[in-house]
Structure 1
Amino acid sequence: MTLLASLTLASCSTILNNLPGVYSIDIQQGNMIDQSMIDQIRPNMNKRQVLYIMGSPMLTDAFHPNRWDYLYSNQPGGEPRMQKKVSLFFDGDRVIGIQGDFKPSALPVIKESEETTVDLPPRDLEKTMWEKITNLFGIDDIDRSTESDRLTEPGPATSEPTINYPDDSMPR
């Protein structure tokens, strides 16, 4: 009876995993690696440049500090698992070799820019924000003289201030 129950449970899981129309998720693990990333790696690149292109390595070995391993595993929707591996070798701070499932290209990589340029029309700065707001409410009688106009207006002829005392209360 126990043998029959264990066989039944084992076959149920096999049948349930392979039913048509049942959704199973894609499982991705590790650093996503593709050929365009490997094509950008060049001899004598420093570790910082490699980090920018490839990201942090999945494995760093304490016994081999000059070797970075990148692993990528993908199992789309219950299909067989696909695994890619790339190892980069360094001499000090410089790349000296690549080993793994990808081959670097011999041609220089020309990466197209994904940036776009937008031309903006020039801004109309004739009025300040305060002037625009007051014009909405119909307040147009604000003194519009600028500071340069105020500086050029004629002032008093003497530089000493004039003091007017009432009656005969002038100090003596």
Structure 2
Amino acid sequence: MQKIFILIESCALFMAAGCANTPQPTDYQDSLLSDLPFVYKMTVQQGNIVTEEMVDQLKPGMTQAQVRYLLGTPLLADLFHPNHWHYPYTIKRGHQPMELRQLTLFFEQDALVKIQGTLKPDPERAARAATQPRELVMTVPDWQDQRGLVQRVLDVINLKSVERPPVN
């Protein structure tokens, strides 16, 4: 009788221990392989792209229309505070940690009064940018023959001719 009681007790103990270890579901479960360095992770950008040069052009007293022209439509317009405009921006590059930039603008009587966030206007940077010439030189690589194997074989036996751009 005592052996049956011990057997029932041990079975009940194992069943209770098995039920106690149920994992909680998560919103997003990452794969075990996603942290390996050779696994590609796409760059993900979200929000308004606001550069330091754009923020440097902000001046107190600007109207909402001028700010909207300069920075674009705010991503978050607070329903309870329509004079607070939020410009969040996040970028996640591959295996690097997520980068977060925020810009919040405060208006009173349709005029910009306060700028808050990780991006702040810098008058010295704006003055340097105004004095430097804004010239952009782009170098374009030469055209390279990147046709497939079948197309190259057809060219060799002269079945189909391909127009090639002139090389200077």
Q: Which stretch of the first structure deviates more once superposed, 42-51 or 103-112?
A: 103-112
CA-atom RMSD, angstroms? 2.9
* AA matched with 1:36: E
Q: 2:42 aligns with which of 25, 46, 51?
A: 25
Per-residue CA shift, 1:96-138, capped at 9, x if unaligned?
11001122113455285569xxxxxxxxxxxxxxxxxxxxxxx
* AA matched with 1:89: F
Gaps of 5+ in 2: 1-17, 24-28, 137-168
Q: Which stretch of the first structure deviates more once superposed, 103-112 or 29-38?
A: 103-112
User: Aligned equivalents of 1:69 and 1:104: distance in 2?
Assistant: 16
SS of 1:96's partner is: strand
Q: Contact conserved, 1:86 with 1:98, CA < 8 A, in 2?
A: yes
Per-residue CA shift, 1:46-77, capped at 9, x if unaligned?
11111121111011112111110010011001
SS of 2:123's partner is: coil
Instruction: Give the TM-score of the pair, scaled to structure 1.
Output: 0.55
Per the alignment, residue 95 of structure 2 pairs with: 78
Instruction: Give the TM-score of the pair, scaled to structure 2.
Output: 0.56
* AA matched with 1:71: P
Gaps of 5+ in 1: 7-11, 116-172
Shift of 1:18: 1.5
User: Aligned equivalents of 2:86 and 2:30: distance in 1?
Assistant: 35
Per-residue CA shift, 1:126-154, capped at 9, x if unaligned?
xxxxxxxxxxxxxxxxxxxxxxxxxxxxx
* AA matched with 2:123: A
- Give the 4+ runs in structure 1 shifted more than 6 A: none
Do structure 1's residue 103 and structure 2's residue 103 form an aligned pair?
no
Question: What's the % identity of the aligned pairs?
Answer: 37
Q: Number of residues paired by the alignment? A: 110
Shift of 1:78: 3.0
Q: 1:88 aligns with which of 96, 105, 120?
A: 105
Q: Given the superposition, is the C-alpha separation of residues 83 and 62 from structure 1 closer, same or farther in structure 2, using an over 3 Å criterion? A: same
SS of 1:87's partner is: strand
